[in-house]
């Protein structure tokens, strides 16, 4: 059975935990501290930063600015994992630009920081949390776009997505993460402006 460790306890953490639960995966939620806010759910294991990561897949459901601290804590353990980067590094003070380098992405920068043997997959960043929790986007199953350089890692992420009842679409190598982040940026901005709803989002029809 697939196991997944989700670092972070915010809305996206809860949404991806719901995805993993539907897929029948064992879920570990790693909180910043024992007092960090989160909605405790039966069937999930709760840990704090510094505890061992039990999942084969590790989701970084925290702001990109927190990645350095996570790597300091878990660098050796992450060498044996598939790491899922869901971040959209938006400058929320202006809502006007991405904070990742113009020729790169948070996923590509993360891959540079990780030890040999770690595999980064960009996924879930184009999806708003409500569409992951429900598994639907309007009248269609939610589509999760993902990118990465390692076929086995991408297959494992796709299997989790599909086992949860959603559609998984491989958009190519990790260099495509830049385009995924641009899509996530546009979707969040449109929702913030009231052009779309946070309960909906972009849909990719079959």
Question: pLDDT tens digit string along 76-112?
Answer: 999 989 999 999 887 767 767 777 777 889 999 999 9
> What percent of the chain stands above pLDDT 90?
67
Instruction: State how far the Cα of 158 lies from the Cα of 168, in Å rounded to an integer.
Output: 6
Q: Give backbone dihedrals phi and psi of 45, rounded to 5 degrees, phi first.
A: -95, 135
Q: What is the DSSP string of 14-55?
A: HHHHHHHHHTT-EEEEEESSTTS-----TT-EEEETTSPP--
Question: pLDDT tens digit string along 170-198?
Answer: 999 999 999 999 999 888 888 888 888 87
- CB-CB contact of 7 with 60 (8 Å): yes
How much is the pTM? 0.93
For the chain, what's the residue count? 206
């Amino acid at each position: 059975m697939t196991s997944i460790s989700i670092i972070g306890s915010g809305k996206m953490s809860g949404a991806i935990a719901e995805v993993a639960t539907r897929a029948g995966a064992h879920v570990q939620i790693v909180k910043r501290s024992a007092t960090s806010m989160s909605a405790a759910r039966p069937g999930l294991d709760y840990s704090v930063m510094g505890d061992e990561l039990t999942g084969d897949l590790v989701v970084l459901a925290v702001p990109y600015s927190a990645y350095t601290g996570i790597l300091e804590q878990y660098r050796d353990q992450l060498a044996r994992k598939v790491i899922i980067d869901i971040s959209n590094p938006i400058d929320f003070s202006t809502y006007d630009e991405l904070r990742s380098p113009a020729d790169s992405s948070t996923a590509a920068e993360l891959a540079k920081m990780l030890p040999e043997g770690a595999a980064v997959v960009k996924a879930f960043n184009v999806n708003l949390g409500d569409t992951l929790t429900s598994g639907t986007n309007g009248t269609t199953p939610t589509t999760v776009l993902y990118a990465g350089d390692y076929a086995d890692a991408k297959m494992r992420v796709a299997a989790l997505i599909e086992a949860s009842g959603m559609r998984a679409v491989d958009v190519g190598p990790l260099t495509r993460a830049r385009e995924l982040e641009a899509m996530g940026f546009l979707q969040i901005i449109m929702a913030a402006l009231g052009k779309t709803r946070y309960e909906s989002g972009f849909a990719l029809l079959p």
